[in-house]
Amino acid sequence: MILKRSRKFEKKEPSRDAKLILIYCEGRKREPQYFNRFREISSRIRVEIVLPDETGDNSPTGLYERAVDNSDYEILSEDEVWFVIDTDDWGKHIAALKEFCRDKDNWQVAQSNPCFELWLYYHFKNTPPEFESDIACEKLPSEMKKQLNDVVPGGFDSKKHFILIKTAIENARNNFSQTQELDVALCSTEVFKLASNIYPLIKEVIEG
């Protein structure tokens, strides 16, 4: 897809029967900026973002507890609840979150290893980033962010680059892998699964 810098989208309110996709984000900046772009461009979808609590428990299991206790949204059978999380050093928290979600219809996890910026990277690159073999795990997110900025001159802009979502889905899916323990492998992101559910509802708008 050729990126059109001047492309503008007419704001549209969701219809009464629009599909709700409720997203709980671990991050306060990148993730909300990105997913908010889908909120008003199609009447077929209603995207709602729940930001992390500044003073609360924002671990994967903490986000789950917030979702269970959240009475602000009426979740219908066709709606979806997603948790967008980084790998970080959450360890068993991630496994617990995924186990909890298995017991609920349409509750899913989109984990990125090492971080959400990997998903943004795949909007432009069809090969995974490369990391030094001896790099410490805690330094992987900052290195990923650096590589994203190297790939995208001027930095990723959610206001315009989101229209490359189809490319990102294909690139992320093609480079997705899991460890023997079925954990998300380094340089893999599950966000393409969430994006694959959003894309059909906005396809006509962004490709029209």
Pairing label, strands 107-113, 45-50:
unpaired
pLDDT tens readout for residues 95-154: 999 999 999 999 999 999 999 999 999 999 999 999 998 899 899 999 999 999 999 989
What order of strands is seen across the sheet that includes strand 188-189?
45-50, 19-25, 80-86, 107-113, 188-189
d(CA 131, CA 187): 9
pLDDT tens readout for residues 72-95: 999 999 999 999 999 988 888 999
pLDDT tier at 7 (50, 70, 90 boundaries)?
low
pLDDT the model gives residue 180: 87
d(CA 55, CA 32): 18
pLDDT greater than 60 at residue 19: yes
pLDDT the model gives residue 6: 46
pTM of the full predicted structure?
Answer: 0.93
Query: What single-letter DSSP state applies at residue 178?
Result: B
d(CA 65, CA 59): 10
89 within 8 A of 116, measured Cβ to Cβ: no
pLDDT greater than 80 at residue 1: no
Token pair of 200 as six digits: 């059909």
75 within 8 A of 47, measured Cβ to Cβ: no
What are the φ and ψ backbone dihedral angles of 84, each rounded to 5 degrees? -100, 110
pLDDT the model gives residue 158: 93
Strands (E), the chain: 19-25, 45-50, 80-86, 107-113, 188-189
pLDDT tens readout for residues 154-200: 999 999 999 999 999 999 999 999 998 889 999 999 999 999 999 99
pLDDT greater than 60 at residue 54: yes
What are the φ and ψ backbone dihedral angles of 42, each rounded to 5 degrees? -145, 140
* CA-only gyration radius of the chain, Å: 17
**Mean model confidence pLDDT for the chain:** 92
**CA dihedral over 55, 37, 156, 154, signed as positive or negative:** negative
